[in-house]
Structure 1
């Protein structure tokens, strides 16, 4: 019985450590910004209700990561990290969107979410 309890506690602790901390530091401002961005995509991509919710959470997660990059980097280093972040975001959106929706997303994304530019 003690062994079963120990294994159960072990599994619970692993699952707690596996959670994404980026969503845990979310703010109302980020949630609102993610909702605004998602609303722009809904009609263009034809998102269903469940897709919209997952899409919004993913946008919020990446907005938080983008903010962290902007706070901790500058210049070309920031831009390179932002490009890598955008590629990761598009790849993860592939888990939420259909193939046709993903292609449309990649097409309209620069208009809705333009990448930051560096000042020279």
Structure 2
């Protein structure tokens, strides 16, 4: 029951923040990481200028959402499930930005460039 409640809360939260870009606070780390990821993809996908802008904005949006999930107080298993769903949603939304051949290749590249990672047992020194 707790998992369902968390999933509903996250889903509602994602829908609300995804609809209004002003609700998503800019994150310098996410922007820098998005730029690095974009460069990797662009070498392989040869995106146009408008695609690059849209692709980068989408990356930033999902990196911010990914960070929010990673910082939630939930089990590693639940985080992994939620992150997997988030990355699936990101892949689907990239279809609106990329051409069909680019999107097919993007799906293959994504496993290499954006693997699902959940840190377990952080040690603070």
Query: Which TM bucket (shorter chain)?
Result: 0.7 to 0.9
Contact in 1 for aligned 2:27/2:64 (Cα 8 Å): no
TM-score scaled to structure 2, two decimals? 0.75
Change (3 A) 1:26 1:74: farther
In the TM superposition, what whole-angstrom CA distance separates every residue of 1:20-64 from its partner, at most 9, and x where no partner exists?
355x31222211111011010001011111100100000000000
- Aligned counterparts of 2:29 and 2:88: Cα–Cα separation in 1: 24
**Unaligned runs of at least 5 residues, structure 2:** 1-18
Contact in 2 for aligned 1:76/1:118 (Cα 8 Å): no
- Aligned counterparts of 2:105 and 2:76: Cα–Cα separation in 1: 30
Contact in 1 for aligned 2:35/2:56 (Cα 8 Å): yes
Corresponding residue for residue 11 of structure 2: none
In the TM superposition, what whole-angstrom CA distance separates every residue of 1:59-107 from its partner, at most 9, and x where no partner exists?
0000000000000033110000011001100110000001100000000
2:52 is the alignment partner of 1:43: no
Corresponding residue for residue 13 of structure 1: none
Larger Rg belongs to: 1
Contact in 2 for aligned 1:69/1:81 (Cα 8 Å): yes
- Aligned counterparts of 1:60 and 1:113: Cα–Cα separation in 2: 13
TM-score scaled to structure 1, two decimals? 0.78
Count of residue pairs brought into register by the alignment: 102
RMSD: 1.7
> Per the alignment, in what secondary structure is the counterpart of residue 61 of structure 2?
helix
